[in-house]
Structure 1
Amino acid sequence: MGATIAVFTRDLRVRDNPVLAAACRGADRVVPLFVRDPRVLSSEFSLGRKDFLEECLSNVDSSLRARGGRLVLRDGDPVEQIARVADEVDARRVHLAGDVSAYARRRADALTDALGRRELVIHDDVHAVVPPGRVLPAGRDHFAVFGPYFRRWQEAPTRREVPAPRRIAVPESVRSARCAARTGGETAARRRLSAWVNGGLGDYAEHHDLLAVDGTSRLSPYLHLGCVSPLELARRAGPGAFTRQLAWRDFHLQVLAARPDTTHRDYRPRGDRWREDPQALRAWQDGLTGIPIVDAGLRQLRTEGWMHNRARLITASFLTKTLYLDWRAGAAHFFRWLLDGDLANNCLNWQWVAGTGTDTRPNRVLNPLRQAARYDPDGEYVRRHVPELSHLPASTIHTPWRHRGRVDYPPPVVDLAEGRARFLAARR
């Protein structure tokens, strides 16, 4: 039956992977291939983010070796490397997960041309529970409001899960770059998934906004790189508040599929003339704004490569609506540091907060002090991430003007009331 190639992209798992399963069904020899693109893995990514990818690749390699195979790693332009491997093994077909970004679309188009007579099989049901385009409003190419999308999403048919292949035979002659031995990836994701479904999931609706509580799944980095199947996760979690968040993820994918330029252009322009203030931007990036709850979130981002979702909302609102700085600067900073820096979720969540996206209340401003009082009432989250404030009582820790002269901590970069008034005046 010849050889086929299963190209891994951000589907770094062997369980419920339609790309790998289809490749194994269609040939007696399979090349599981991942190409590290230097244009993507550039200096704009943090070291932690690059390390996380290597952990996931190493785990895929281990899982494949347990089944008699191995992961073939190449470095360079993905189209050139995939076509080169296809020539080396005389592959008849190349299997690839469909994706919605402009980069992914250009890659698929170029690969079709480069493969010539060989068949490129695109699998559109890998990265989402309900793939983009599966549910559509009448007369439009995507849903622009989450509520009606979610109602249709809940009713949409989904594919069957596919098991991991039992055996994989890889041509011995195909060469590979070195894959460093590391822990993590799909194995870690599945442990976390089981612990979450059997533990914290039941309290998610009550605890997911509490900043100091470990009330979220922490599965987002693994979902981003496909170490866990979103379809399997949704089925194991069942209906409820957590699965609604998976629907939001699919919602953003279908928006990006219809509007690939929303990674850098306003979905709904508001006529903003964003301020230029490099000093304020730097203070925000470094977690030195003088607003403790904002600084705690941004320091968590730097140290963990992750930020609590409520903190993401608070820090993003502060940048765009209190400092009135461009959402794209915030999205770029998050994308550099977040292990779960997903293009659709990151950019469209930023647009939602900035009021240029799908939010039906585009001018809402989150007051960080009120948010802190509600979601970190004892100041535990701030103490954890802003150690210079760790000795202060809860009654003081969230009120920055009381810190002067007591700790080595900067004064606020902006008066909150003035910042809010400036934003609302600009939007009017």
Structure 2
Amino acid sequence: MRTAVVLFTRDLRVRDNPALAAACAAAEQVVPLFVLDPRLRGISPNRALFLHQSLTDLRETLRRKGADLVVREGEPVAEAIRLAREVGAEGIALAADVSGYARRREQRLDRECERHRISLRLLPGTTVVPPGGVRPGGGGDHYRVFSPYHRAWESARWRDEAATPHKITLPPGIAVGRLPKAPDSESPGAAPGGESEGQRRLKAWLRHLGPYDDLHDQMAMDGTSRLSGYLRFGCVSPLAVANAAREIGGPGPDAFVRQLCWRDFYYQATAAFPAMSTEAYRKAGDYRWRADEDALKHWQDGSTGVPVVDAGMRQLRAEGWMHNRARLITASFLTKHLGLDWRDGVKWFFRWLIDGDVPNNSGNWQWVAGTGHDTRPHRRFNPIRQAERFDPDGAYVRRYVPELKSVDGKAVHQPWRLPEAVRSGLDYPGPLESHRDDAVWLRP
């Protein structure tokens, strides 16, 4: 093959990129392409900025290898086919994905490639084990319970990491196109995007991975990887991350790899149930949720009067990220204490989270709400007990709720100034004191 196009989507890296490696192995000339789809504008300013930074970094890396990132704007399939015909490409390579948007894009691309007699290769790369790579016995299309999936996932043969191309040759005469101006940041503490930054953070994280199983729930400590945004955009390879943690070994790395397995679990579930963001996976758990715009607004603004909930929601806005334990507490508070629809939580998290994606964001929200894969869907979480356990000296709360910085000890976790909309909502599913704490929000 003389020329191939690589359509980058959520694999914005050159290390362990099967689509890029396959194209470089099969073709003399390779055209790296990213298409800016106008339909996705405005969904999340934080993700838009992270994407821009990641594309800028990818372009610089490709230039060092003798190529460039070709940027087009429009409908991705139409632009990919147009460019392939322009350069006489015989093939297009693409990383397979699972969201409804991604699946529709793949189906359209398959039809258009067949019509124009261009070969299409869908490669792995967004997960450790591809969705469908392991299946339950008895003919099921996907695992509905995590534990058996985890056993099958751990015993599966993982693919070899793809080789990083040393040199990439771009066909002559291509107008590479410009990236648009970087959007403004809405979260001043947001992490920067890009493979270079992702690799730097991964290397630093691996040096401190040992106590992960003991520290990852402690909200005031930097005991989690904060790699979720880099995994979401494919700035780091989930397989390479899992392999690196496995090489270290021990309780901490094992616990971290288990979180990567949870990520894969939701990807295989979403592949089978693409409506994960809008429809209850477990219909019996989709209750008659209350509609209360005032209570929802207090939750969104971090002004519920429940300190740990407000701290989590304010961290979300400040950083475009929230601690894994705080995600659990805030999601449970919305659904199990205020009785509000989990879909409102999905939308708000999508609005701010850099790592927001359909499988993990929506799958975890459904798990907490009792509509998803949880085998104990009626569990609830007491935010006060959770705060006392996972923020014992109140450092996390004081960091994000400065109004309480002078409150001493565990008193910082007690509800204060509860708005009427929140107070009346708490009487709907039951008072705070009636709920026990349990479980964990799953996010590497």
Number of residue pairs the alignment of both structures matches: 414
1:222 corresponds in structure 2 to 230
2:20 corresponds in structure 1 to 20
Distance between the aligned counterparts of 1:395 and 1:135, measured in 2? Answer: 46
Of 341, 344, 350, which residue of structure 2 is paired with 1:335? Answer: 350
2:106 corresponds in structure 1 to 108
Q: Which moved more, 1:18-27 or 1:163-172?
A: 163-172
1:187-198 correspondence runs (5 A):
187-198=196-207
1:147-192 deviation digits (Å, cap 9, x = unpaired): 1110111000011112210111112322233137997411111111
**Contact residue 94 and residue 121 of structure 1 kept, 8 A:** yes
Structure 1 residue matching 2:344: 3-state secondary structure: helix
1:211 corresponds in structure 2 to 219
Structure 2 residue matching 1:360: 3-state secondary structure: coil
| Counterpart amino acid of residue 257 in structure 1 | A
2:370 corresponds in structure 1 to 355
The TM-score with structure 1 as length reference comes to 0.93
Distance between the aligned counterparts of 1:379 and 1:65, measured in 2? Answer: 48
Unaligned runs of 5+ in 1: none
Distance between the aligned counterparts of 2:3 and 2:423, measured in 1? Answer: 62
2:72 corresponds in structure 1 to 74
Distance between the aligned counterparts of 1:38 and 1:387, measured in 2? Answer: 39
Q: After the TM superposition, which parts of structure 1 deviate over 3 Å for at least 4 consecutive aligned residues?
A: 179-184, 409-412
Structure 2 residue matching 1:263: 3-state secondary structure: coil
| Counterpart amino acid of residue 122 in structure 2 | I
Instruction: Report the alpha carbon displacement of residue 113 of structure 1 after superposing the two structures with TM.
Output: 2.0
Structure 1 residue matching 2:275: 3-state secondary structure: helix
Instruction: Report the alpha carbon displacement of residue 393 of structure 1 after superposing the two structures with TM.
Output: 1.1
**Contact residue 291 and residue 412 of structure 1 kept, 8 A:** no
Instruction: Report the alpha carbon displacement of residue 411 of structure 1 after superposing the two structures with TM.
Output: 7.1
Instruction: Report the alpha carbon displacement of residue 8 of structure 1 after superposing the two structures with TM.
Output: 0.4
Of 408, 420, 424, which residue of structure 1 is paired with 2:429? Answer: 420
1:99-178 correspondence runs (5 A):
99-115=97-113, 116=115, 117-123=117-123, 125-138=124-137, 139-178=139-178
**Contact residue 193 and residue 230 of structure 2 kept, 8 A:** no
**Contact residue 313 and residue 353 of structure 1 kept, 8 A:** yes
2:186 corresponds in structure 1 to none
**Contact residue 280 and residue 286 of structure 2 kept, 8 A:** no
1:364 corresponds in structure 2 to 379
Structure 1 residue matching 2:32: 3-state secondary structure: strand
Of 86, 89, 109, which residue of structure 2 is paired with 1:88? Answer: 86
2:282 corresponds in structure 1 to 268
**Contact residue 5 and residue 95 of structure 1 kept, 8 A:** yes
Decide whether aligned partners of structure 1 residues 113 and 416 sit closer, same or farther in structure 2, where only a CA change above 3 A counts.
Answer: closer
Distance between the aligned counterparts of 1:276 and 1:289, measured in 2? Answer: 16
| Counterpart amino acid of residue 132 in structure 2 | G
Structure 1 residue matching 2:294: 3-state secondary structure: helix
1:30-41 correspondence runs (5 A):
30-40=30-40
Distance between the aligned counterparts of 1:83 and 1:205, measured in 2? Answer: 47
1:217-242 deviation digits (Å, cap 9, x = unpaired): 00000000001111111011015100
1:387-417 deviation digits (Å, cap 9, x = unpaired): 111121123211124xx5xxxx857822686
Distance between the aligned counterparts of 2:245 and 2:428, measured in 1? Answer: 41
Structure 1 residue matching 2:52: 3-state secondary structure: helix
Instruction: Report the alpha carbon displacement of residue 2 of structure 1 after superposing the two structures with TM.
Output: 2.0
1:218-297 correspondence runs (5 A):
218-238=226-246, 240-269=254-283, 270-297=285-312
Note the aligned Cα RMSD (angstroms): 1.9
**Contact residue 51 and residue 193 of structure 2 kept, 8 A:** no
Distance between the aligned counterparts of 1:261 and 1:355, measured in 2? Answer: 16
Decide whether aligned partners of structure 1 residues 271 and 61 sit closer, same or farther in structure 2, where only a CA change above 3 A counts.
Answer: closer
Structure 2 residue matching 1:52: 3-state secondary structure: helix
Of 43, 48, 51, which residue of structure 1 is paired with 2:49? Answer: 51
Identity of aligned pairs, percent?
Answer: 53
1:375 corresponds in structure 2 to 390
Distance between the aligned counterparts of 1:194 and 1:368, measured in 2? Answer: 34
Structure 1 residue matching 2:35: 3-state secondary structure: strand
Distance between the aligned counterparts of 2:125 and 2:423, measured in 1? Answer: 44
**Contact residue 320 and residue 354 of structure 2 kept, 8 A:** yes
Instruction: Report the alpha carbon displacement of residue 418 of structure 1 after superposing the two structures with TM.
Output: 2.5
Decide whether aligned partners of structure 1 residues 271 and 217 sit closer, same or farther in structure 2, where only a CA change above 3 A counts.
Answer: closer
Of 311, 316, 322, which residue of structure 1 is paired with 2:331? Answer: 316
2:61 corresponds in structure 1 to 63
Structure 2 residue matching 1:260: 3-state secondary structure: coil
Distance between the aligned counterparts of 2:423 and 2:289, measured in 1? Answer: 16
Unaligned runs of 5+ in 2: 183-191, 435-444
Decide whether aligned partners of structure 1 residues 271 and 30 sit closer, same or farther in structure 2, where only a CA change above 3 A counts.
Answer: closer
